[in-house]
Amino acid sequence: MKFCIHRGSDQIGGSCVELEHGGERILVDLGLPLDQEFDTADLPPIEGSERSNSKILAVLLSHSHRDHWGLLPKLPLPIDVYLGRKALSMMTAARPFVPGGYVPERAVTYQDRVPFNVGPFEVTPYLADHSGFDAYSLLIRAGGKTILYSGDIRSHGRKAALFQKFLADAPAPVDVLLMEGSSLGRLPRERRFETETDIEQRLVEVLSATEGMLVVACSVQNIDRVVSVYRAAKRSGRQLLVDAYGAEILKATDTASIPKPSGDWDDVKVYIPQFQRRLLVRNGIAHLVDSYKGRRIFPEKLSGQASKSVMIVRPWMLTDLQEVGALEGARAVWSQWEGYLTSEPGVAFTEKCKALDIPLETIHTSGHADIHALQQYAAAVNPVRLVPIHTFFPSQFSELFANVELSPDGNWVEI
Ligand SMILES: [Zn+2]
Ligand SMILES: [Zn+2]
């Protein structure tokens, strides 16, 4: 077996790895680089990818973040795309709500620790703790050799037990570990990230000082964070409000322990901003609101519910909330990467808060492993070779991990 990192050896985002054995090939992830727009981004130079009859058997996706699948729509169809069942469900739910939403035409779903075969490749997914829901490390065997692709991982989320489970029973032997290193260069070696439980506690503290509504700007696809927000709301005697996009994403998790506006979750309600009402009609999905019956908070009632609510918002929603008079005594929390605050729509959010005299603070923790956790992961796998991916600092790996070997984009490595 041999492999080539087409993209990701020295950048975060746009990850794409090709594996070849006996003339048969698969791709692992095909992401959109973070600094590129879909329309102008090029596929990495994968031989034959411009032809629909190429010998690429399939694409395996580690998870549903766009920096791991975003260039898929540029591959000539048809091709089988393997991904987690719940990841597919979330991509399907998100499609009508987000620009560039996409669902693979020929999706094949896999499950945690259930091996499957694609041509000569045997693949075993390992469900991982990550800010993206239903994310996996992928173990791939062919010709008596083994590659482990870490995907995006962490150890401080709400699924930390999955990380410990992996450490306790890591696959062996592994010839090559392709391991992410998002945190290298971003934080000192010994610093640990806050846990989601820490985030929940900080939200509780903010809530104790909030008279009106607490608006939290986070991605509803960051399910761990939504759970932290929900738990903080509940501990503060408040209900959680989401828009229709949030409602559909939470329902799509299809997981009993995750709050959603259905079933017995009486303290999760739906507020549909004016702009979204028009979007639902335009996209032919206005019928979705029928399923929120009895759980809707209508605009004229929102201000009366504000002091008993925490709402997950996207920046554009503030104007709508202001118009219905729901921001009296409100506070705001930015609960995603702070870097987004300096670009649109983060700037607009900050300015709007300032104009409305709404106190704003950032409460967030990374979706990626800190260095200590990466060292635990690498030590547990103990690979013959550890190759950096999904990092801006591959050259720092050799100071932190054993058996490191760099492989630049486009370089083929025989195992
Ligand atoms: Zn990523
Ligand atoms: Zn990710």
Q: What is the pLDDT of residues 231-244, one digit of tens each?
A: 999 999 999 999 99
Q: Do 123 and 27 share a structural domain?
A: yes
CA of 30 to the centre of ligand 2 (A): 12
Is the pLDDT confidence value at 51 over 70?
no
Q: How confident is the model at residue 77 (pLDDT cuts 50, 70, 90)?
A: low
Q: Do 23 and 146 share a structural domain?
A: yes
Q: Do 351 and 271 share a structural domain?
A: yes
pLDDT per residue as tens digits for the range 318-371: 999 999 999 999 999 999 998 888 888 899 999 999 999 999 999 999 999 999
Q: Do 205 and 103 share a structural domain?
A: no
CA of 12 to the centre of ligand 1 (A): 6
CA of 368 to the centre of ligand 1 (A): 9
CA of 395 to the centre of ligand 1 (A): 19
Q: How confident is the model at residue 169 (pLDDT cuts 50, 70, 90)?
A: very high
Q: Do 113 and 47 share a structural domain?
A: yes
CA of 388 to the centre of ligand 1 (A): 13
Exposed, middle or buried by CB within 10 Å (0-12, 13-18, 19+), for 406? middle
* Model pLDDT, residue 55: 78
Angle among Cα 283, 87, 336 to the nearest 5 degrees reads 80
Phi and psi at residue 125, in whole multiples of 5°? -85, 145
Q: Do 392 and 260 share a structural domain?
A: no
Q: Do 205 and 156 share a structural domain?
A: no
Q: Scanning the structure block, which residue is given the tokens 């554009």?
A: 316
Which ligand approaches the C-alpha of residue 129 most closely?
2
Residue 20: name the closest of 46, 44, 2 by CA: 2
Q: Do 318 and 216 share a structural domain?
A: yes
CA of 129 to the centre of ligand 2 (A): 10
CA of 299 to the centre of ligand 1 (A): 37
Q: How confident is the model at residue 53 (pLDDT cuts 50, 70, 90)?
A: low
CA of 412 to the centre of ligand 2 (A): 25
CA of 300 to the centre of ligand 1 (A): 41
CATH code for the domain of 213: 3.40.50.10710
CA of 357 to the centre of ligand 1 (A): 35
CA of 202 to the centre of ligand 1 (A): 26
CB atoms closer than 10 angstroms to residue 178:
27
Q: Do 145 and 165 share a structural domain?
A: yes
* Model pLDDT, residue 102: 96
Between helix 244-252 and helix 274-282 the angle, nearest 10°, is: 60
Q: Do 164 and 33 share a structural domain?
A: yes
Q: Do 257 and 230 share a structural domain?
A: yes
Q: How confident is the model at residue 180 (pLDDT cuts 50, 70, 90)?
A: very high
Is the pLDDT confidence value at 155 over 90?
yes
* Model pLDDT, residue 149: 99
Distance CA 121, CA 403 (A): 25
Is the pLDDT confidence value at 50 over 80?
no
CA of 245 to the centre of ligand 1 (A): 22
Which structural domain, as residue segments, surrounds residue 320?
196-362
Enumerate the β-bridge partners of residue 192.
none
Q: Judge if ipTM > 0.90.
A: yes
Question: For the chain, how many structural domains are there in total?
Answer: 2
* Model pLDDT, residue 373: 98
362, 383, 403 - which closes a domain: 362
Q: What is the mean pLDDT of the chain?
A: 96
CA of 7 to the centre of ligand 2 (A): 15
CATH code for the domain of 109: 3.60.15.10
Q: Do 178 and 270 share a structural domain?
A: no
Q: How confident is the model at residue 245 (pLDDT cuts 50, 70, 90)?
A: very high
DSSP SS3 for 355: helix
Which ligand approaches the C-alpha of residue 128 most closely?
2
CA of 68 to the centre of ligand 2 (A): 7
